[in-house]
Amino acid sequence: MPPNRALLIPPALGAAVVLAAGCGGGDTARTVTVERTVTVTADGRPLDAGNPDDGIAGPVEPVTSETPLSGDDGVPDAAAGPAPLEAGGATRILADLRARLGGTSPQFTSLGLYDGHAVLYVRDPDHPANVDRYVWRDGELSDPDPVRIRREDVGPAAFRAREVNLGRVPALVARARRIPIESPEVCCVLVSRQMPFRRAIQMTVAVSGPRESATLVADAAGTVRRITR
């Protein structure tokens, strides 16, 4: 049989053909076909073709997703209305929360307004000794998460939004950005009573820079009382 010849042979005869191929002389590899085409040496052994990786990258298959991306991408959604630190932002958040609570005016133990989201610690209207945590982001409120808090602390810490001039938030943010530190950035506005030291409600604006930080403190009416660095 001439070398390097491809033959189509029934599987039952494959073993006999390989043995027969071992009778030939020479070192030339031959190709025989059983159920598929393989290359064998003169004595019937499969020929080692070496490493199939030739170092040349194959075409890149495009990666596609069957489901759209979801979750927080870090970019506020303009359709959700003003951001929490902007004019009207707090009003929008409170309206969403009241709707979630069935129109009930909520009581808070703490209210945090950030650039792209808000964190609300809300007294449970049906169980006043309990506090739940809500997160508002892009016009959506998360489901409530229970908060560990001493029951006797809930009542003294609680306040309603009408007790605070949240309309002053944008002005307080603008004032905090004028604090004379290098590249000041406003993190958030935190609203709470100063328990257990005092019952007065304060709005605290946290400011940070690459070298130092500062804090602006205003009363419930939105009047700046002090700035610390």
Choose between 63 and 210: higher pLDDT. Answer: 210
In tens, the pLDDT along 22-42 reads 444 455 555 544 455 555 555
Taking the mean position of all CA atoms in its chain, how far away is CA 226? 36
* Gap between the terminal Cα atoms of the chain: 95
Instruction: List, for residues 72-116, the tens digit of each pLDDT value.
Output: 455 555 566 799 999 999 999 999 999 999 988 999 999 999 999
Among 84, 110, 98, which residue's Cα sits nearest to residue 186?
Answer: 84
Mean pLDDT of the 63-79 span? 48
Tell me how far apart the alpha carbons of residues 87 and 168 are, in angstroms, rounded to a whole number: 8
**Nearest Cα to Cα of residue 18 among 2, 26, 31, 36:** 31
Taking the C-alpha atoms of residue 123 and residue 106, their distance in angstroms, rounded to an integer, is 7
pLDDT tens-place string over residues 129-179: 999 999 999 889 999 999 998 888 899 999 999 999 999 999 999 999 999
Lowest mean pLDDT among 4-18, 138-152, 175-189, 208-222: 4-18
Q: Are strands 117-123 and 145-146 parallel, antiparallel or unpaired?
A: unpaired
Structure tokens at 196: 């257990």
Of 65 and 205, which is predicted with more confidence?
Answer: 205
Q: 30-33 and 140-141 as β-strands: parallel, antiparallel, unpaired? A: unpaired
Residue 150, Ramachandran bin (φ over 0: left; ψ between -120 and 50: alpha; else beta): beta
CA distance 137 to 81: 10
